[in-house]
Structure 1
């Protein structure tokens, strides 16, 4: 079973338990099926891990991009999934 590292908490877990994030038209997007082309960053589907990744600047490093990334689309996605 493939293992990935969360860029937020740095914990390891099975790929099926983490959420893949990618750059889509220069913005951060969720790749729930983990099939989008290009480089991805993995996080636990938890707002705490997303906040840690933002605070540490880990998303930009993992995706090899410069400048700040707007995590609002990911935050919205996590909020919708948490309330479902």
Structure 2
């Protein structure tokens, strides 16, 4: 059975396979496709809408328990690549 996680943006619950795990690495938000990177992870739907909402509301720093605002560039670029394919 697949575990259920909550999207940090829309707060909807979904299985891990439907969500993208995001972690902070060297001050940047990075996608953790295989959910194996160390540290706290935040889960978000891999859509521009949920990503934009999470970034604008400051959901990632709160969920990941980091101070400041991590650079969302890498995760935004990654999402654009996913949506283009």
**Quick check: TM above 0.5?**
yes
Structure 1: 5+ residue stretches without partners = none
Is the partner of 2:14 in helix, strand or coil? Answer: strand
What's the CA shift string for 1:2-34, capped at 9, x where partnerless?
000000111110011100000111211110111
Length-normalised TM-score, structure 1:
0.95
* Structure 1 stretches of 4+ moved >2 Å: none
The 3-state SS of whatever aligns with 2:78 is helix
- May I ask how many residue pairs the two structures share in their alignment? 84
**Which whole-Å CA distance do the structure 2 matches of 1:57 and 1:21 have between them?**
14
- Aligned ranges 1:55-66 → 2 under 5 Å: 55-66=56-67
Q: TM-score, normalised by structure 2?
A: 0.94
Supply the RMSD in Å over aligned alpha carbons. 0.8
1:15 paired with 2:34, answer no
Asked if the contact 2:24–2:70 (Cα under 8 Å) also holds between the matched residues in 1, the reply is no
Give the match for residue 51 of structure 2.
Answer: 50
